[in-house]
Structure 1
Amino acid sequence: MAQDDYSNDGTVDIKGNPANKKKTGNWKACRYILGNECCERLAYYGMSTNLVNYLEDRLNQGNVAASNNVTNWSGTCYITPLIGAFLADSYLGRYWTIASFVVIYIIGMTLLTLSASVPGLKPSCDKDSCHPTTGQTAAFFVALYFIALGTGGIKPCVSSFGADQFDETDETEKKKKSSFFNWFYLSINIGALIASSVLVWIQMNVGWGWGFGIPAVAMALAVVFFFLGSKLYRIQKPGGSPITRIIQVIVASFRKYQVQVPDDKSLLYETAEEESQIQGSRSLTRAAVETRADNIKGLTNPWRLCTVTQVEELKSIIRLLPIWASGIVFATVYMSSFWAPVYDRVIVPYARKFTGHERGFTQLQRMGIGLVISIVSMIVAGVLEVVRLKFVRENIYYDLEYIPMTIFWQVPQYFLIGCAEVFTFIGQLEFFYDQAPDAMRSLCSALSLTTVALGNYLSTLLVTVVTKVTTRGGKLGWIPDNLNRGHLDYFYWLLAILSFLNFTVYLWISKWYTYKKAT
């Protein structure tokens, strides 16, 4: 069989043989990955969207305690991906990491369903309240954190695993990979929509046993989808511990702080290929300068002498961090949308005619456009809140718990921020996959996910600080319980200003960034 029939990116099939491009990968493999993601997200959001109500209703927790427990758990769900990513990049590979962690996920979903439906595990309730025992509460939280651990092995790996199905050295497949990220995000939102509507209704009107049982079945379907495509997958081999390699570079560079870096790169230990576009600090490059002390009894000490590949890995991560940080402010205002197919089928072909770029926009341009749209969305939200408050004043509705205004007033900002999400978050997902070192793609995908957690923490911090500052002297503040007597519009202006400053910094960062080339 011709050499062109095999992928050129080092992927293998499920049996460990070089991946045949005609028999593996591409969309024929991705349909199973997208099905898996849709069902897994349906399961996740199906049990998490209404979780505060369950804690209040069945575990008899107050609003503050319930909210804090859900926040802590949600934060854990965005931290555990670092564990899964480390295992995937270092030892197991993405396929076997997903395969292993779905077992933990299923155990958690099953235990959660049992804790809400089986006598003895579910709390006993009367007309007034429920009376959970310590054991019943413990069983519930054990289930919850099993799910958090399970999702930690899936979140950082699935998107990267889907992208692995396209050979980035093949121009045709490279274009399809960009489209994959759009459809991947759409599959997430389809699962989230069903969960936040149908499943929430079932939980509130049919029962929590069914409300948690259906997500458990959805997770089982996700597992089926994943394993059905096994023969079609292209699998990247793990490259060893990236954390160890990074620490070795840092240690070696400190040990050689007085060593002069030669201008001739051929003198460095394992010189990178000439077409590499990764630039970085010469102080780190010292780790790849070979000296007499680097060989002990004929053996190279990796804590004194590192390869150029290791050095470039660390430089790549350092260069990604500013782009990563710019996503934190955006994460404070985003929400799910269904703009992905519109972007893929309408915006990209139209933009391609003007830019000449195969993806319509570069990844940095795409994220920047999203940041601009997010600024506009906060301005629009502020303007609409000014209009709403004027309506309140003119009609003396201050003390009403609701205002007789249609909910469709909120459509403009939802429309805009949904559009911004497709540009920024999906662009970020694709950017971190493309620009990450080959052996650290899962870890970098996990790193991109942490912007969501940090964005939530930043949002909480902003609300806390704003409330504390604006309520001084007995004032109601910007965000009182009765928003008709507050100034939520001021908070939107604050978010708009922060978003603008974030975009300004992003422009400066993106200006000097040099893309990595596929080799």
Structure 2
Amino acid sequence: MDGERRPLLNGPNSENSGPHRPRITKTKLACGAILLTETFERIAFYGIVGNLVLFLNKDPYLWMPYNAVNALAMFTGISYMTSIFGGWIADSTLGKFKTLCIAFLIYAGGYVFFPWLYPYPNVNNDQTVIVPGWCGYNASYTKQKDILKPTSEINPAVTISINSRIGGSSGWCNDDPTLQTSQDWRPLSDEPCAWGVYLALCLIGLGNAAVKANIAPFGADQVRYEGPETTRRFFNWFYWCINIGAFTSLGVISYIQQQWSFFYGYLIPGLCLAIGIIIFILGRCCYKVKPPSGSIITNIFCIMKESCSRRKFRHPSPDGSKGNIVEDSANITHRESIGPSIPMPSCLDMAKVRYGGSYHESIVDDVKSLGKVLVVFVLLVPYWLVYFQMESTFLMQGLHMKLSPFFHPNSTDLHRHENEFKIPAAWLSLMDVTFVLIFIPIFDRLIYPKLDKHGYTISMRSRIALGMLLATAAVLLAGGLETYRLGIYNQNDGRNYFNQSIGNTYYRAVDVSVLWQIPQYALIGLSEVFAAVAGLEFAYSHAPKSMQGVIMGIFWFFNGVGSLLGTATVYAFKNIFFCNWDQGDINGSHLDYYFYFLGGLQFLGVLVFSVISYKFDIGVVDKRQRQRASLQHINGQNGHSRTGSLSQSVQSSNSRNNNVRSSPARSNSTIGYPTNIADKYKSSST
């Protein structure tokens, strides 16, 4: 019986396929090089992101908190939103490998700036640090750091007045000019070395964007013929490596930056980036490198333009005939033989050759499939808006809580704890990373295989919805903690705080341990295991082969939209949740209301996503589809197979719901696409 179960043609995973073993080893080496590269790249990325707000907010730069937070939002926005161009360049011109090499060079070029933005290898609290001379002198910048100390050290009476207003019944900002402090709104152009910081951030962001768009699909290309389970496993381990890099950077690099020196804190991750680039280039001999497919985005717009210009031909004439729809005789005979029940073609269908258009069936259907993908990406925006709070508002909340586990402050003990150990605020992000590192292997090795074995599969739709709910719970917990923190701060006429020093910068903190933030970070991490991993898998699996880089770029683009929306909402709630007259810290604002708003927005997003994904059958792969993909993996190891991704099984489901019955050419293209992209596009001979 075992012999009967053995396929006639051994697949690459067969135990007896000796000739294939070198190729399998080569594939493993390629995947290993890509995963190692991603790990080192993430160390470098989180070396910037983890403490950027703190770096700009402390000596020698002393940026105002809102400008520091907006710099981080700008950086993450560039890193994510411009990734679509990196994907387009890879798909249309250079290919993924060459695009990644160029992107890494740009990435490294920007990273060189950061150690020299803080050229002080060994710094103590008594040493005076100044803005590096190469940045140039900013005449509008006051070098007296005392002006940026807490308001209590400048004008205690004003502080008490402010706090009494905060503790009032209304809880909203008051524009009374008597409450204004000396901390006027400072424009970004007046911040020291703003041009150098933004130049470095832009270069790193652009390089990172192209890497982000291409490295995941490039890695998935290495296993695209190994079956959908292998693809899922690759994405799980890819995301696991992302978080290994994040854990290392946030755990070690952030400690070096906060407690030792930002010079070494930026030099070490810069060296890690260099190591990752070397590993990636050395792996070239093992990679499966696909040539670029052509200008996909250009053809998408051409198809949309042609279909819109020909949309009048899709409507039947008043007498009930087929009107002006142009079809070949075989299709007309086929339509008449099965009766009038076939639906009318969609607007985009009018660009197909069979309806008188100029484009091949497969490429038009590829463009049509983008609709569902874009809908999911848009519905994920509220999730990313909540997710990026970890690196901004969660961090600012932690800086105003007790960082020293052994210090017990009182009203007169202001500076005793300056030399004590303090938990780096960025360490709280480790709880997010830890949950990802723990639960991804558990789900990949235990839960998902066990469910598959018993015929149950957690669909991508369910995983995304569950992740959204967990993110909602996380931000609501953050809001509850902030309400509790502000309640303690406002006791005793606003005197219930102590001055917490981080380097030469002071924060008004309350006697609430920063460890109380662990649950909100942990829930964000658990939400990543479901929503973020499933979203990444959805982006690749639903992308036509010719558009993988572009689709992945669009996925990261909407990540960036979520990040920039965070900045937009902060400005939108100016003088409502965030108050003008207390720029120096968050104690004069209502960050808790902001968290509650985000929680409500994310919960609404869950409801909308659930309804739309159910209505359009998005992100569902049933057992029969997985079995069909597995059979094609065993027996269909050829150049036209698409079983390297989940898109084949998903497309087989979608084909049942197509408004237009596929022609024989389309039926063949469901299994594979023509190797040459020119076969898909305009051809006068067609």
Note whether the superposition's TM-score is higher than 0.5. yes
1:516 corresponds to 2:612: no
- Cross-structure match for 1:45: 46
Kindly tell me the number of residue pairs found equivalent between the two proteins.
474
Tell me, in whole angstroms, the C-alpha distance in 2 between the residues paired with 1:321 and 1:510. Answer: 12
1:345 corresponds to 2:441: yes
Structure 2 residue corresponding to 1:240, chosen from 294, 313, 323 = 294
1:340 Cα deviation after fit:
3.4
User: 1:435-450 maps to which residues of 2 (within 5 A)?
Assistant: 435-450=542-557
Task: Tell me the amino acid that sits aligned with residue 253 of structure 1.
Answer: S
CA contact (8 A) 2:119 2:132 kept: no
Secondary structure of 1:404 counterpart: strand
- Cross-structure match for 1:408: 515
CA contact (8 A) 2:353 2:361 kept: no
Change (3 A) 1:318 1:148: same
Tell me, in whole angstroms, the C-alpha distance in 1 between the residues paired with 2:599 and 2:358. Answer: 48
Tell me, in whole angstroms, the C-alpha distance in 2 between the residues paired with 1:385 and 1:141. Answer: 31
- Cross-structure match for 1:380: 477
1:285 Cα deviation after fit:
0.3
Change (3 A) 1:41 1:359: farther
1:238 Cα deviation after fit:
2.0
1:436 Cα deviation after fit:
0.9
Cα deviation code 1:455-499 (max 9, x no counterpart): 122222333333434589x9x99x99454x765443333222211
Tell me, in whole angstroms, the C-alpha distance in 2 between the residues paired with 1:197 and 1:176. Answer: 31
Q: What is the RMSD of the two structures over their aligned residues, measured on CA atoms?
A: 3.8
Task: Tell me the amino acid that sits aligned with residue 462 of structure 2.
Answer: Q
Q: TM-score, normalised by structure 2?
A: 0.61
- Cross-structure match for 1:423: 530
Tell me, in whole angstroms, the C-alpha distance in 2 between the residues paired with 1:358 and 1:451. Answer: 34
Tell me, in whole angstroms, the C-alpha distance in 1 between the residues paired with 2:236 and 2:473. Answer: 23
CA contact (8 A) 1:104 1:147 kept: yes
Tell me, in whole angstroms, the C-alpha distance in 2 between the residues paired with 1:471 and 1:49. Answer: 23
1:320 corresponds to 2:320: no
- Cross-structure match for 1:13: none
Tell me, in whole angstroms, the C-alpha distance in 1 between the residues paired with 2:262 and 2:245. Answer: 19
Cα deviation code 1:362-417 (max 9, x no counterpart): 21111111112222333433444455566667887764233323333222222212
- Cross-structure match for 1:501: 604
1:231 Cα deviation after fit:
2.4
1:166 corresponds to 2:232: no
Q: Which runs of 5+ in 2 are unaligned?
A: 1-7, 14-19, 121-126, 138-192, 315-324, 333-342, 391-431, 498-507, 619-649, 653-669, 672-686
Structure 2 residue corresponding to 1:190, chosen from 234, 244, 263 = 244
- Cross-structure match for 2:164: none
User: 1:192-271 maps to which residues of 2 (within 5 A)?
Assistant: 192-204=246-258, 206-260=260-314, 261=325, 267=331
CA contact (8 A) 1:339 1:419 kept: yes
Q: TM-score, normalised by structure 1?
A: 0.79
Secondary structure of 1:73 counterpart: helix
User: 1:12-51 maps to which residues of 2 (within 5 A)?
Assistant: 21-25=23-27, 27-51=28-52
User: 1:64-143 maps to which residues of 2 (within 5 A)?
Assistant: 64-113=66-115, 117=119, 127=128, 129-130=130-131, 132-133=133-134, 137=193, 141-143=198-200
Change (3 A) 1:129 1:318: same
> More displaced, 70-79 or 351-360?
351-360
Structure 2 residue corresponding to 1:308, chosen from 344, 358, 361 = 361
Tell me, in whole angstroms, the C-alpha distance in 1 between the residues paired with 2:368 and 2:49. Answer: 38
Tell me, in whole angstroms, the C-alpha distance in 2 between the residues paired with 1:98 and 1:501. Answer: 38
CA contact (8 A) 1:175 1:359 kept: no
Change (3 A) 1:345 1:63: closer
Structure 2 residue corresponding to 1:361, chosen from 442, 458, 470 = 458
CA contact (8 A) 1:58 1:132 kept: no
Task: Tell me the amino acid that sits aligned with residue 609 of structure 2.
Answer: Y
Cα deviation code 1:118-154 (max 9, x no counterpart): 9xxxxxxx93743645569556654443322222221
- Cross-structure match for 1:462: 569
CA contact (8 A) 1:85 1:443 kept: yes
Task: Tell me the amino acid that sits aligned with residue 425 of structure 1.
Answer: A
CA contact (8 A) 1:39 1:221 kept: yes
Secondary structure of 1:223 counterpart: helix
CA contact (8 A) 1:186 1:338 kept: no
Secondary structure of 1:130 counterpart: coil
Tell me, in whole angstroms, the C-alpha distance in 2 between the residues paired with 1:19 and 1:85. Answer: 32
Q: Percent identity?
A: 27
Change (3 A) 1:131 1:411: closer
Change (3 A) 1:219 1:510: same
Cα deviation code 1:293-347 (max 9, x no counterpart): x7xxxxxxxxx51111221121111221110011110112224423334434333
1:507 Cα deviation after fit:
0.8
> More displaced, 341-350 or 442-451?
341-350
1:329 corresponds to 2:357: no
Tell me, in whole angstroms, the C-alpha distance in 2 between the residues paired with 1:68 and 1:406. Answer: 27
> More displaced, 486-495 or 247-256?
486-495
1:200 Cα deviation after fit:
3.2
> More displaced, 313-322 or 491-500?
491-500
Tell me, in whole angstroms, the C-alpha distance in 1 between the residues paired with 2:442 and 2:211. Answer: 30
Tell me, in whole angstroms, the C-alpha distance in 2 between the residues paired with 1:345 and 1:175. Answer: 14
- Cross-structure match for 1:301: none
CA contact (8 A) 1:202 1:210 kept: yes
CA contact (8 A) 1:183 1:340 kept: no
Task: Tell me the amino acid that sits aligned with residue 278 of structure 2.
Answer: V
Tell me, in whole angstroms, the C-alpha distance in 2 between the residues paired with 1:44 and 1:156. Answer: 15
1:92 Cα deviation after fit:
1.9
- Cross-structure match for 1:276: none
The higher relative CO (CA closer than 8 Å, separation ≥ 6) is in 2
Change (3 A) 1:107 1:470: closer
Change (3 A) 1:408 1:146: closer
Change (3 A) 1:373 1:441: same
Tell me, in whole angstroms, the C-alpha distance in 2 between the residues paired with 1:350 and 1:87. Answer: 38
- Cross-structure match for 2:206: 149
